[in-house]
């Protein structure tokens, strides 16, 4: 019998479990395994605790310092039982922390079975809650997950029928339209074109301001997490002009522009998104250094003139076939003078974060109806087929947040 089969049989055997738990050296391994399994079972509840804290603005309330529990309970408007359940759960997950009373106040640590009446009187941010409090991007993503959880509430139904209507499909309107489905017209939107019927060739180009607003805001809110990683990993100072393809409201360009005042900037995205970007970047005083280009990867040429292009969180939204169209278009735009392409997105198979690429993004993108997280090797193959050379991974400080690769588009 080979080892994997033997291992499966042992791990499935209650007798083996009892035996392992009886041996001190093996007990800690068994405990760790049970904890990992329990976390898989309970993960949804943990997420709901985090969502409740964010929705109730608990971290914001505690950002200025610990708060007396009675005052916090009053602010949240929860009854004793609910407040106790939420705060204990949040403490257990290191989102909140019991604090000793400030000087002059009296506080007692409760027994494990104490009721709210015996609880310590002050609560502050826990190790993880403090991180959320300092980062609006995380809260924005957590709130977005309300729809994600609803789409994943019946995962088997989604797996059996991946074309089923989901909230994410509605939300990411360009993925819906790129499949040739009709888009909803919005008579009030100034950018509503007259021909709102399905137009797969001009994928996304017919979307209205209203249809792109929510996702563009979310992307802009979460972009600092990504831009910080890319800026720390890649040296932009040797470039003269950066074209951000699928650049959204320009949050990535704005972060790079502030760090590298020598760079000229170009933004390419769907016309309605570019319309939004123009007003956001005008407010930031960046429009003098920038040009804006509205169009679709699938029906319009990408503008030329940059010596560096970026695709940030773009490719994982699309099928291999569409990724090839995007990459070839990026290469054509760079190859007049030769230039570099940067790919920044969560990547599958990231050491230490395998679950993020394959379990999290796998299901998320299934519910969205398009795309998949790819390994660096898969991306390298696609880059190579699209005519790029000198393809390499660029290490980032937090690969869980952003994987980074670069590739060269030679002249011609």
Ligand X SMILES: C[S@@+](CC[C@H](N)C(=O)[O-])C[C@H]1O[C@@H](n2cnc3c(N)ncnc32)[C@H](O)[C@@H]1O
Q: Name the β-bridge partners of 310.
A: 244, 342
Of 66 and 294, which CB lies nearer to ligand X in the complex structure?
A: 294
Closest approach, Cβ 312 to ligand X, in A, equals 4
- Contact (CB, 8 A) for 96 and 62: yes
Q: Which two tokens stand for residue 151?
A: 């789409």
Interface with ligand X, residue 203, by CB under 6 A: yes
Interface with ligand X, residue 174, by CB under 6 A: yes
Question: What whole-number distance in Å separates Cα of residue 400 and Cα of residue 306?
Answer: 29
CA distance to 76, 230, 249, 254, 352, per residue, from 213 (Å): 30, 25, 9, 18, 34
Closest approach, Cβ 238 to ligand X, in A, equals 22
Residue of this chain nearest to ligand X (CB atom): 246
34 — phi, psi (to 5°)? -65, -40
Q: Which two tokens stand for residue 394?
A: 């660029």
Closest approach, Cβ 205 to ligand X, in A, equals 7
- Contact (CB, 8 A) for 386 and 324: yes
Question: What whole-number distance in Å separates Cα of residue 255 and Cα of residue 384?
Answer: 29
Interface with ligand X, residue 297, by CB under 6 A: yes
Work out which of 270, 280, 342, 382 binds ligand X, going by CB under 6 A: 270
Interface with ligand X, residue 266, by CB under 6 A: no
Pairing of strands 264-269, 290-294: parallel
Closest approach, Cβ 296 to ligand X, in A, equals 4
Task: Classify each residue of 213-243 as buried b or exposed e, where b means 16 or more C-beta atoms within 10 Å of its C-beta.
Answer: bebbbbbbbbbbebbbbbbebbebeebebbb
State the virtual CA torsion across 27, 29, 35, 38 in degrees, nearest 10: -90
Of 307 and 317, which CB lies nearer to ligand X in the complex structure?
A: 317
Work out which of 46, 236, 298, 408 binds ligand X, going by CB under 6 A: 298
Phi-psi region of 408 (alpha: psi -120 to 50; beta: other; left: phi over 0): beta
Interface with ligand X, residue 247, by CB under 6 A: yes
Query: How many Cα atoms are found within 13 Å in the side-chain-facing hemisphere of 407?
Result: 26
Of 88 and 278, which CB lies nearer to ligand X in the complex structure?
A: 278
Work out which of 58, 123, 267, 312 binds ligand X, going by CB under 6 A: 312
Closest approach, Cβ 347 to ligand X, in A, equals 14
Computed on alpha carbons and rounded to an integer, the radius of gyration of the chain in Å comes to: 25
Work out which of 132, 269, 327, 405 binds ligand X, going by CB under 6 A: 269
Interface with ligand X, residue 177, by CB under 6 A: no
Pairing of strands 403-409, 339-345: antiparallel
Q: Which residue do the tokens 């590298």 mark?
A: 260
Choose the binding region for ligand X from 68-76, 126-134, 187-195, 296-304 (rule: CB under 6 A): 296-304
Work out which of 239, 313, 331, 374 binds ligand X, going by CB under 6 A: 313
Interface with ligand X, residue 404, by CB under 6 A: no
Q: Which two tokens stand for residue 112?
A: 């494990």
Choose the binding region for ligand X from 157-165, 234-242, 243-251, 394-402 (rule: CB under 6 A): 243-251
Closest approach, Cβ 298 to ligand X, in A, equals 5
Work out which of 246, 339, 346, 376 binds ligand X, going by CB under 6 A: 246
Closest CA to 362 of 176, 204, 224, 162: 162
Of 87 and 222, which CB lies nearer to ligand X in the complex structure?
A: 222
Of 97 and 345, which CB lies nearer to ligand X in the complex structure?
A: 345
# of chain residues touching ligand X (CB under 6 A): 23
- Contact (CB, 8 A) for 308 and 239: yes
Work out which of 59, 252, 292, 340 binds ligand X, going by CB under 6 A: 252
Interface with ligand X, residue 296, by CB under 6 A: yes
Query: How many Cα atoms are found within 13 Å in the side-chain-facing hemisphere of 28?
Result: 2
Q: Which two tokens stand for residue 92?
A: 């257990």
- Collapse the DSSP code of 263 into the 3-class scheme (helix H, G, I; strand E, B; otherwise coil) and give the result: coil
Interface with ligand X, residue 361, by CB under 6 A: no
Choose the binding region for ligand X from 48-56, 70-78, 103-111, 246-254 (rule: CB under 6 A): 246-254
Work out which of 66, 126, 248, 369 binds ligand X, going by CB under 6 A: 248
Choose the binding region for ligand X from 27-35, 54-62, 190-198, 265-273 (rule: CB under 6 A): 265-273
- Collapse the DSSP code of 404 into the 3-class scheme (helix H, G, I; strand E, B; otherwise coil) and give the result: strand
Binding positions for ligand X, rule: CB under 6 A: 174, 203-204, 212, 216, 219, 223, 226, 246-248, 251-252, 269-270, 273, 296-298, 312-314, 317
């Amino acid at each position: 019998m080979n080892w994997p089969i033997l291992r499966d049989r042992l791990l499935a055997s209650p007798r083996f479990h009892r035996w392992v738990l009886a041996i001190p050296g093996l007990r800690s391994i068994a405990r760790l395994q049970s904890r990992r399994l329990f976390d898989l079972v309970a993960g949804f509840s943990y997420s709901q605790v985090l969502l409740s804290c964010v929705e109730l603005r608990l971290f914001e309330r505690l950002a200025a310092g610990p708060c007396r529990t009675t005052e916090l309970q009053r602010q949240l408007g929860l009854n004793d039982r609910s407040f106790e359940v939420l705060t204990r759960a949040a403490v257990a997950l290191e989102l909140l922390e019991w604090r000793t009373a400030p000087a002059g106040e009296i506080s007692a640590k409760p027994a494990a079975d104490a009721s709210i009446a015996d609880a310590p009187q002050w609560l502050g941010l826990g190790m993880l809650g403090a991180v959320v409090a300092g980062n609006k991007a995380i809260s924005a993503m957590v709130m977005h997950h309300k729809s994600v959880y609803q789409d994943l509430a019946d995962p088997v139904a989604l797996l059996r029928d991946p074309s089923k209507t989901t909230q994410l499909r509605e939300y990411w309107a360009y993925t819906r339209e790129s499949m040739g489905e009709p888009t909803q017209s919005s008579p009030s939107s100034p950018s509503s074109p007259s021909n709102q019927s399905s137009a797969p060739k001009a994928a996304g180009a017919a979307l209205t301001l209203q249809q792109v607003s929510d996702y563009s805001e979310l992307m802009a809110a979460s972009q600092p997490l990504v831009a910080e990683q890319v800026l720390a990993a890649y040296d932009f100072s040797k470039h003269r002009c950066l074209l951000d393809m699928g650049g959204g409201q320009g949050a990535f360009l704005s972060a790079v522009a502030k760090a590298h005042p020598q760079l000229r900037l170009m933004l390419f995205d769907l016309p309605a998104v570019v319309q939004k970007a123009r007003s956001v970047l005008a407010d930031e005083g960046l429009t003098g250094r920038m040009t804006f280009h509205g169009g679709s990867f699938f029906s319009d040429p990408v503008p030329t003139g940059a010596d560096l292009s970026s695709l940030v969180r773009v490719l994982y939204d699309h099928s291999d076939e569409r990724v090839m169209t995007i990459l070839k278009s990026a290469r054509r735009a760079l190859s007049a003078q030769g230039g570099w392409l940067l790919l920044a997105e969560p990547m599958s198979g990231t050491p230490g974060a395998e679950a993020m690429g394959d379990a999290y993004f796998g299901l998320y993108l299934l519910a969205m109806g398009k795309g998949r997280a790819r390994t660096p090797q898969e991306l390298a193959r696609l880059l190579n087929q699209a005519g790029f050379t000198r393809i390499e991974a660029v290490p980032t400080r937090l690969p869980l947040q952003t994987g980074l690769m670069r590739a060269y588009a030679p002249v011609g």
